[in-house]
Amino acid sequence: MSQIFDKTTNGLGASLALRSLRHNVTSSNIANAETPGYKAKKVDFEDALSRAIDLEGVGGEMANSPEHFAMGTGSISRAKADVYDNPEGNTTNDQNSVDLEREMANLQENSILYKAALQLMNKKLGALRYAVTDGGR
């Protein structure tokens, strides 16, 4: 099957999916800001996504294990996010490590970046639509 989408479109799609995951994790942190013993979670995916974009199509190899770097055809769609306890959080007396102000700022930043990626994806798909309809003729 031929590739309709280029590396940029695939990267934007993966970024949207991973930003959605980050939104869910950050929202969960905010919702549990007053839960005793709750440890704030953090999502990192930028390094994995950029590595997958750099290795997209290189040699056609496929990763055989989750510990391997994603590379080859489809490596962008296989990029995984790391979700772990946030080591930067200060623990309060009730052992909760959520910093509400930081989480709200992270949620807003993620929302802005999600909307930017979505607008870029819409422009890419609009260009494809224009090409398919023969320039509106």
Residues 4-29 have pLDDT tens digits of 677 788 888 888 988 999 999 999 99
> Does some domain include residue 86?
yes
What tens digit of pLDDT does each residue of 55-113 get? 765 544 455 555 544 444 556 767 778 888 988 878 888 989 999 999 999 999 999 99
Helix (H, G, I), strand (E, B) or coil at 85: strand
Output DSSP code: residue 59.
T
Q: Higher pLDDT residue, 23 or 44? A: 23
Helix (H, G, I), strand (E, B) or coil at 9: helix
Say which amino acid occupies 43.
Answer: V
Print the domain residue range for 14.
Answer: 7-45+81-136
- Indicate whether 3 pLDDT > 50: yes
Query: In this structure, what token pair is assigned to residue 84?
Result: 């772990």
Q: Higher pLDDT residue, 72 or 48? A: 48
Nearest to 131 by CA among 1, 3, 2, 4: 4
> Does some domain include residue 15?
yes
For residues 93 and 69, give the distance between their C-alpha atoms in angstroms, rounded to a whole number.
Answer: 40
Number of independent structural domains in the chain: 1
> Does some domain include residue 53?
no
Place of tokens 């496929």: 62
Q: Residue 71: what pLDDT?
A: 44
Neighbours of 56 (CB within 10 A): 20
> Does some domain include residue 51?
no
> Does some domain include residue 96?
yes
Give the pLDDT band of residue 45 (cuts 50, 70, 90). Answer: confident
115 exposure class (CB count in 10 Å sphere: 0-12, 13-18, 19+): exposed
> Does some domain include residue 41?
yes
